[in-house]
Amino acid sequence: MLLRLSARSIRRCTSCSFPSSSSSASSLPFRLGPASSFCTVPSMAANHPKDEAYLSAVIPKRIKLFEQIQANQLEKLKSLPHDPIKITSLKEGVKGDVKEGKKWETTPMDIAGQIAKGLANSALIAEVNGELWDMSRPLEGDCKLELFKFDSDKGRDTLWHSSAHILGQALEQEYGCQLCIGPCTTRGEGFYYDAFYGDLGLNDAHFANIEAGAAKAAKEAQPFERIVVTKDQALEMFSDNNFKVELINELSADKTITVYRCGPLVDLCRGPHIPNTSFVKAFKCLRASSAYWRASRERESLQRVYGISYPDQKQLKKYLQFLEEAKKYDHRLLGQKQELFFCHPLSPGSWFFLPLGTRVYNKLMEFIKEQYWKRGYTEVITPNMYNMNLWETSGHAANYKENMFTFDIEKQEFGLKPMNCPGHCLMFQHRVRSYRELPIRMADFGVLHRNEASGALSGLTRVRRFQQDDAHIFCTEDQVTDEVKAVLEFIDYAYKVFGFTYELKLSTRPEKYLGDLETWNKAETNLEVALEAFGKKWVKNEGDGAFYGPKIDITVSDAMNRKFQCATLQLDFQLPDRFKLEYSAEDEAKRQRPVMIHRAVLGSVERMFAILLEHYKGKWPFWLSPRQAIVCPISKKSEEYAKEVQKRIHEAGYYVDADITDRKIDKKVREAQLAQYNYILVVGESEAATGQVSVRIRDSAAHSVKNIDDLLEEFKAKTAEYQ
């Protein structure tokens, strides 16, 4: 797929808020400007402060500066005209009542109290004209207002983002550490905070103190207060934290910075936040790990603490029970138990798939390849390594090189491919293309390598060597809507087969983007039309598109209601331009640029393998199972017949074994059930005489007698129906 800035290369700085430019409005309190998408700056050496000095001098200094700036901004706010405004309340996007308020005075919290009793005590975040907004932040004019509780994605993510600040406060107070960044996790399960502790190594033994600090903060109901500061003010406020100074110094002089406070914690943050810390009534540290500042091995070594929080203890207890249950089905444990795959220290991040695991891997690819044949895709094979000139053209050399494996050949630099799209551009480019050929749908299962940090490797879900069901569609602008709709239908079909539910989000133009506004608007409109034609519910995710084009994010939920992002669908106008791709229009004298659609259904085959293994809890459906059937003879007298049955099933194209041991039949059947064979076929002298088998299903004590032809028809039907 196209350039995707990983956690190791350029991390989205979710704890920073940097409006695009200074203005009279942005100099006022409570004004949230658009956030800077990424933070990258040169290296520096961090000095770890002594605990007592940090707590007794640094934090009070920050608080004093915060209060001074806040007082000045509140005074300025009072002088503004508080004209009447109309607030239209929304619920799930549907228009509701119209309330009256005053500009620079009325807050979403005020409106919540007017709408329903108790809503002000449960609403965590507001959305004002499509922009997320603190509940205590005054409204600035006529607007549409929607409120969100914890049961919504926006409410949940806000609680967890705010909980990261509570975690940061506890860490800073307990250890005098230098805080770095603290966002929600990318999988949407809690939050973390990175910090520099010097020589201290955090572990589970520290969690009780951290949780006690978080509980203290929640009990105090500390409000989340917000100010906007200049670059100079921010540098003064965070002069004792070199990590924060690094983030600030990368900004141009006309940028402003958003700062939040809760209790003793003053932190750079783009927000928004929950009203106060008391909304976090259940808090738990989950684990600690090491990390690198800026995700670079060359930078400072940090400690990362992961946490989870809820608005009540009951939900936390339920989540912790879920974690215990999920541990039983960790794909790494199941993979070892079922002899599917393993990893060796001589090749970290690159997994060995054993014969049984290879069966599943191949079945997944065959499933996609069968759909390719039906849906008009053409499979291609492209090289694994390219001269770095290719990656300079594509932009990966400038933005992604540290994630690539590079090496020299005859004094020229080459790199293993981390994605297929530049190679597909070369394939499109190698001869003159006509509009009559479009759309061209190139599919590629080529091996990809990404130089992930060793600390980031995690089973099959974060690897260095992998394959994707990667495809790129080259089409005209007029074909975009139909092609996108077709991809969505492909994804819907595949996820129904796997038993997934999913959500759709349209991620629109970010603050920093390439290309012209007109092209972006047209692209977003095309995606909206395609989504409407597709007919499934979707939401707009403002400003979260890739810098090269808008995208549709597809989040799947498995049997344990965990969320994953596997499929992807992105529009790209930049690579066709970088590679100067052209096709001849109807007027052959004219040349036009194609639009490029990046799409994957499975995503990484390795990652999908892991997700499915846990989704099915190790009980593979028949069509995907590496152990579809086993023949168990009752005694030696029926062993030859068992081998005949095995041979016939094998020749029909199914995975079948035979247990030719001298153990009792009850033990054979029990072990076959534990090994997750879908069908256990018991044969004795009577079955041998009649040409039948006694059929037991994996999870059932019942059994039936069938002849081989009928059994094979059943296998055929289950395979065809993906059961």
**Tell me: the pLDDT tens digits for 309-361?**
999 999 999 999 988 888 899 999 999 999 999 999 999 999 999 999 999 99
Q: Is residue 162 predicted with pLDDT exceeding 80?
A: yes
Q: Using 50, 70 and 90 to split pLDDT, how confident is the model at 6?
A: very low
- Measure the CA–CA gap between 320 and 311, rounded to whole angstroms: 15
Residues 6+ positions from 102 with CB-CB distance below 8 Å = 82, 83, 84, 85
Q: Is residue 50 predicted with pLDDT exceeding 70?
A: no
Q: Is residue 4 predicted with pLDDT exceeding 90?
A: no
Region of 428 (left: φ > 0; alpha: ψ -120 to 50; beta: rest) is alpha
Q: How many other CB atoms are found less than 10 A from the CB of residue 546?
A: 23
Q: Residue 291, CB half-sphere, CA atoms under 13 Å: how many?
A: 25
Share of the chain above pLDDT 90, in %: 67
List phi, psi (to 5°) of 186.
Answer: -65, -25
Q: Using 50, 70 and 90 to split pLDDT, how confident is the model at 522?
A: confident
Q: Using 50, 70 and 90 to split pLDDT, how confident is the model at 389?
A: very high
What does the pLDDT read at residue 28?
36
Query: Average pLDDT over the chain, rounded to whole?
Result: 87
538-541 and 501-507 beta bridge pairing: parallel
Domains parsed from the chain with CATH numbers:
51-74+156-325 (3.30.980.10), 81-153 (3.10.20.30), 348-382+417-615 (3.30.930.10), 622-720 (3.40.50.800)
Contact 269, 244 (CB under 8 A): no
Residues 6+ positions from 44 with CB-CB distance below 8 Å = 242, 245, 246
With vertex at residue 716, the alpha carbon angle to CA 713 and CA 721, rounded to the nearest 5 degrees, is: 125
What does the pLDDT read at residue 51?
59
Nearest CA-CA partner of 135 in 123, 143, 144? 123
CA dist 620 → 25, 355, 609, 625 (Å): 58, 16, 11, 5
- Measure the CA–CA gap between 509 and 545, rounded to whole angstroms: 5
Q: Using 50, 70 and 90 to split pLDDT, how confident is the model at 203?
A: confident
Region of 466 (left: φ > 0; alpha: ψ -120 to 50; beta: rest) is beta
What does the pLDDT read at residue 699?
83
Contact 342, 354 (CB under 8 A): yes
Nearest CA-CA partner of 237 in 267, 196, 213, 281? 267
List phi, psi (to 5°) of 623.
Answer: -65, -25
- Measure the CA–CA gap between 647 and 643, rounded to whole angstroms: 6
Q: Is residue 24 predicted with pLDDT exceeding 50?
A: no
Tens of pLDDT along 634-681? 999 999 999 999 999 999 999 999 999 999 999 999 999 999 999 999
10 Å CB burial of residue 408 (0-12, 13-18, 19+) is exposed
Structure tokens given for 680: 């256990």
Q: Is residue 17 predicted with pLDDT exceeding 70?
A: no
Cis peptide before 272 (omega within 30 of 0): yes
Contact 472, 440 (CB under 8 A): no
DSSP secondary structure string, 225-279? EEEEEEHHHHHHHTTT-HHHHHHHHTS-TT-EEEEEEETTEEEE------SBGGG
Contact 495, 556 (CB under 8 A): yes
Structure tokens given for 715: 């296998």
Nearest CA-CA partner of 263 in 197, 172, 176? 172
Nearest CA-CA partner of 242 in 89, 371, 413, 49? 49
Nearest CA-CA partner of 47 in 173, 168, 197? 197
Tens of pLDDT along 536-551? 989 888 788 877 788 9
Helix axes 480-498, 517-534, angle to 10 degrees: 50
What does the pLDDT read at residue 557?
85
What does the pLDDT read at residue 562?
81
DSSP secondary structure string, 358-378? HHHHHHHHHHHHHHHHHHT-E
- Measure the CA–CA gap between 157 and 109, rounded to whole angstroms: 19
Contact 85, 102 (CB under 8 A): yes
What does the pLDDT read at residue 40?
31
List phi, psi (to 5°) of 321.
Answer: -65, -40
Contact 236, 266 (CB under 8 A): no
- Measure the CA–CA gap between 598 and 474, rounded to whole angstroms: 9
Q: How many other CB atoms are found less than 10 A from the CB of residue 542?
A: 16
Residues 6+ positions from 270 with CB-CB distance below 8 Å = 14, 15, 16, 17, 18, 32, 35, 258
DSSP secondary structure string, 399-442? HTGGGS-EEEETTEEEEE-S-SHHHHHHHHHTS--BGGG-SEEE
Count of all residues that appear for the chain in the document:
723
Tens of pLDDT along 74-101? 999 989 999 999 999 887 666 778 899 9
The alpha helices in 89-206, defined as continuous H runs, are: 108-115, 153-175
Q: Is residue 188 predicted with pLDDT exceeding 80?
A: no
Tens of pLDDT along 560-588? 778 888 898 999 888 999 999 999 988 77
Mean pLDDT, rounded, for 390-397: 90
CA dist 6 → 190, 405, 410, 495 (Å): 20, 15, 30, 25
Nearest CA-CA partner of 644 in 695, 703, 708? 708
Q: Is residue 534 predicted with pLDDT exceeding 50?
A: yes
10 Å CB burial of residue 248 (0-12, 13-18, 19+) is buried
Helix axes 480-498, 355-375, angle to 10 degrees: 140
CA dist 66 → 29, 71, 171, 686 (Å): 12, 9, 20, 87
Contact 471, 490 (CB under 8 A): no
List phi, psi (to 5°) of 442.
Answer: -95, 125
pTM (2 decimals)?
0.79
Identify which has the larger pLDDT, 19 or 278. 278
What does the pLDDT read at residue 92?
66
Q: Would you please indicate which residues are annotated as catalytic (active-site) residues?
A: 421, 450, 468, 470, 472, 551, 598
Contact 247, 16 (CB under 8 A): yes
Tens of pLDDT along 439-471? 999 999 999 999 987 777 888 988 999 999 999
Region of 531 (left: φ > 0; alpha: ψ -120 to 50; beta: rest) is alpha
Helix axes 605-615, 355-375, angle to 10 degrees: 110
Q: Is residue 298 predicted with pLDDT exceeding 90?
A: no
List phi, psi (to 5°) of 655.
Answer: -85, 115
Contact 443, 395 (CB under 8 A): no
Structure tokens given for 214: 């978080």
CA dist 471 → 27, 269, 437 (Å): 46, 38, 17
Cis peptide before 439 (omega within 30 of 0): yes
Tens of pLDDT along 415-440? 999 999 999 999 999 999 999 999 99
